[in-house]
Structure 1
Amino acid sequence: MHMKKLALSLTVALLSTGCSMMAPQYSASIENVQTLKNSGETKVSVGQFASTPGPGNAYPISIRGSSMSSPYNNSYGAYVANAIQQELALANRHTQAGNLEVSGVLLKNDIDAAGFSVGYVTVEARFIVKHNGATTYDQVKSVKQEFPSSFAGAVAIPKAVQEYNFAVQKLLGLVYEDKAFADAIK
């Protein structure tokens, strides 16, 4: 009986100590790159993406007792900025400095993997385009990406981490497909 209590105590201790992990680096979406290619040739720089701390936008992201940090400057705003920069570069539209700049603010950034069959990644940001310092685009876009989850944390946590990249791809796809955004970066 004593061994069962000890085993149970060790199991509870292991499960209650969350692990810290790094989110995978952003992987560009071919569809997003093609949308950027199709919307013009003008070069665009990427400015700062701030991150507004608050409910639904904690840093690091908590996933079932584990925490996930950004691989870019310890900031998910920087994660979004890097994602845009990658896709602009692959579309041959990125420049380090120019008269067109996209920047923004990350408003919501959360992963809910608590469900035993379904999880969600929520990402919301304000995207701003400035041309010669004048704002030509300022809109908020959001994504709530649903993904299959599991009772087992060993399955649910890696799936949630993987889905984060897809949610950011989907968010940026919404921005790039917005005619007002496409016109602002022409």
Structure 2
Amino acid sequence: MQSKRSMSMALPLAALTCIFLVGCAGPAPNYAPSIDNVEKLKKADVSAAKVGVFDTKAGMQNADTIGLRAASLVSPVGKNYGDYLAAALRAELEMAKLHAPASPLEVSGRLLQNNINAGGIKTNDGVLEAQFVVKNGSELRYDKVKKITRQWDGAFAGAVAIPQAANNYPLMVQQLLAELFADPDFIRALKQR
């Protein structure tokens, strides 16, 4: 009798322990295009382009999952954060009415860094770095790396810090794309000759 009672207490305790050891996993917030980015693209008078594959650097930390204290974020699109970046770029181009899946102009790339630090009490930060490539058919027109760092207020409580970090991820992607769209060489690469 004692053995059954011990077992009935042990199972819930084991399950609870597993939950605390594993933490919570959930999707990163969906990307919403930046009005400033869309306006930049519209004013640049560029040709419509398609979005190609964005892969992740081999062995890159946080390619599939970003750890935020005891929680983790997974990309809500595709299989990794390269797919998230591609979807974000596609959303910006679509909102600017510059996405054309049949275009010979293609923007592709590789995610090189994808880090969020949510452990700070005073401040937290994140770093995104990606290589962007523009081709017109087989002609290489652009190949550069863009990198951003974003900082926000930290919090002692994980219940505050984790959502703050998660909500800053799409803003980091907006900032990275703003860097790309501000590059005159990128804009030139998207103009048909």
Q: TM over 0.5: same fold?
A: yes
Q: Corresponding residue for 2:3?
A: none
Residue matched to 2:41? 36
2:100 paired residue among 95, 104, 111: 95
Q: How does 1:35-184 map to 2 (within 5 A)?
A: 35-54=40-59, 56-184=61-189
How far is the alpha carbon of 1:117 from its aligned partner?
Answer: 1.3
For residue 53 of structure 1, report the CA deviation from its aligned partner: 4.0
Paired AA for residue 141 in structure 1: K
Corresponding residue for residue 9 of structure 2: none
Amino acid corresponding to residue 80 of structure 2 in structure 1: S
Distance 1:60 1:167 in 2: 16
Q: Any stretches of 5+ residues in structure 2 without a counterpart?
A: 1-12
CA distance in 2, matches of 1:98, 1:110: 33
Task: Tell me the TM-score normalised to structure 2 length.
Answer: 0.86
SS at match of 1:48: strand
Q: 1:9-45 deviations in whole A, cap 9, x for unaligned?
A: 99x9465441001011111100000011011141110
Larger gyration radius, structure 1 or structure 2 = 2
**CA distance in structure 2 between the aligned counterparts of 1:167 and 1:79, rounded to whole angstroms:** 12
User: Larger deviation: 12-21 or 138-147?
Assistant: 12-21
Deviation at 1:54, TM superposition (A): 3.3
TM-superposed CA distance for 1:141, in Å, is 0.3
Q: Which amino acid aligns with 1:38?
A: K
TM-score norm. by structure 1 comes to: 0.90
Displacement of 1:82 after TM fit?
Answer: 0.6
- Give identity over the alignment, percent: 40
SS in 2 for 1:84: helix
> Quick one: distance in 2 between partners of 1:157 and 1:53?
27
Distance 1:147 1:49 in 2: 27
SS at match of 2:142: strand
SS at match of 2:26: strand
> Is the 2:129–2:147 contact (alpha carbons within 8 Å) kept by the matching residues of 1?
yes
Deviations 1:131-169 (A, max 9, x none): 122111000001111011101000000000000010000
Query: For this pair of structures, how many residues does the alignment match?
Result: 177
Write out the 4+ residue segments of structure 1 that deviate beyond 3 Å after TM superposition: 12-17, 53-58
Q: CA RMSD in A?
A: 1.7
Could you tell me which runs of 5 or more consecutive residues in structure 1 were left unpaired when the two chains were aligned.
Answer: 1-8
